[in-house]
Structure 1
Amino acid sequence: MSLIDLLTGNQVADKAEQKFGINKNQIIALLAVAAPLIISYLRKKSQDSKEAESLNNALDKDHDGSILDDVSQADARQDEGGSILNHIFGSDKQNVESKLSQNTGISIDKIGPVLSMLAPIIMGYIGREKQQNNVGAGGLGDLLGGILGGAQNQAQQQQSSPLNDILGSVLGKNDSQSSGSGSPLNDILGNILGGGDQKKQQGGGGLGDILGSFLGGK
């Protein structure tokens, strides 16, 4: 299963729509941004050997991927999802939630609970990929980078897709606003993989500006 398959084929959006009364397309758009963003943060953390070992243990213990086969677990594990996000984003969490709320149209009081519901799904996906590729702590950085790179390649090949249509309508990204790829998902992944680091090196305004750039410059 690729990252894009997770974004388009998982039933968690239906569950979140029922629970929070949020438009399904908004939830799919949120997942399309949050999943690669979380993976990117974890990839950066995994560069530290202690963080990599901690992540490896957490994946082995709590995230075997079974949640992908039973998305009802996401609702029951929402508190756990909040703890996951606190650890991943740290002091950036409030800023991340604010930017995601602004750009998806999901109210700030709901963005945190929705993200908390999505987080165990994303971790379950990483855990399943880890198992299938027989990866240990030392290989997590490459695994996470490969997930993002594979998703970007797939996005480049699928310029026209239902997911891109959803992202275009929810995030307000069209051909004139994008980097020229004509694919909002490809723009998001491209900025996460390269644009964020580049902007930091150029002295940009931190995470808020980076998020704003790949979410349509809002």
Structure 2
Amino acid sequence: MTSPIAQDLLGRLQGQPLSDIGRQLGLSDSQVQGAVATALPLLLGALGRNASQPEGADALFGALQRDHAGEDVGSVLGAVLGGGGQGAGILEHVLGGRQQTAIRGIEASTGLDGDRAGSLLKMLAPLVMAYLARRMFSSDPAPAGTTPLSPTPQSLGSVLGEESRRIGESGGLAGGLLGAVLDQDSDGDTDLGDLLRLGGSLLGGR
């Protein structure tokens, strides 16, 4: 994973948080590590694409300020594991009609079945929002290689746009999954069929 925001958030989930997510989904430590490392860039890349337009940046900024300011990843994870966190609603805003494509892509690239891939995305979405809100509205330092987030829609759109660009250019499963999900109806170079074949080869022909 070469995108610094996704890497920083994954680092904050190491240890007990990832173990708790894996236990909830019935995954081993290595399985949940790989699945989360694949899903986080997808969510952050999709947010970056949405925030690339001023109206998208305004909407995301408003949601972070209104619904997620003051949250921290640890407390949100506790709520998520208890069945809260509003993950389904967040995914609807982030992915819209591309949710099933995202689930199929996670399934193909990680070996999870569709139900667990969907549950993983619903669990991670509130964590991503809490992380971004804390980065924006607190004094948490920016990850190395990134621009500090200031509390404006323009800053949010710029930083997430750069993250999305890095993910897309990184290649591998993270970049391929992002391209397959976001560009399936456009003229992107990667389609879901390519991703399914890539995932199958990496998983030993699964």
TM-score (norm 1): 0.67
- Quick one: which of 120, 135, 156 aligns to 2:151? 135
Distance 2:62 2:9 in 1: 23
Q: Which runs of 5+ in 1 are unaligned?
A: 153-184
- Contact 1:77 1:120 (C-alpha < 8 Å) held by counterparts: no
Structure 1 equivalent of residue 55 of structure 2: 50
Alignment check: 8 A CA contact 1:2 1:150 kept: no
How many Å apart are 1:14 and its aligned residue? 1.5
- Mapped to 2, the partners of 1:104 and 1:37 lie a distance apart of 13
On the 8 A contact 1:97/1:112 being kept in 2, the answer is yes
Letter in 2 for 1:122: V
CA distance in 2 between partners of 1:204 and 1:194 (Å)? 8
Do 2:103 and 2:114's aligned partners in 1 also have CA atoms closer than 8 Å?
A: yes
Distance 2:57 2:165 in 1: 20
What is the distance in 2 between the residues matched to 1:79 and 1:69? 12
Distance 2:175 2:125 in 1: 22
- Greater relative contact order: 1 or 2 (C-alpha under 8 angstroms, separation 6 or more)? 2
The 1:196–1:110 alpha-carbon spacing in structure 2 relative to 1, beyond 3 Å, is: closer
Residue 23 of structure 2 is aligned to residue 18 of structure 1? yes
| Aligned residue number for residue 38 of structure 1 | 43
Q: Hey, what does 2:73 align to over in structure 1?
A: 68
Normalised by the size of structure 2, how large is the TM-score? 0.71
* Conservation of the 8 A alpha-carbon contact between 2:105 and 2:177: no
Aligned residues: 186
Q: How is 1:81-160 mapped onto 2 (pairs within 5 angstroms)?
A: 81-131=87-137, 132=139, 133-147=149-163
Report the RMSD for the aligned CA atoms in angstroms. 3.5
Equivalent residue number for residue 146 of structure 2: none
Rounded Cα–Cα distance in structure 2 between residues aligned with 1:56 and 1:98 = 29
Calculate percent identity across the aligned residue pairs: 25
Query: Which letter does structure 2 place at the counterpart of 1:111?
Result: A
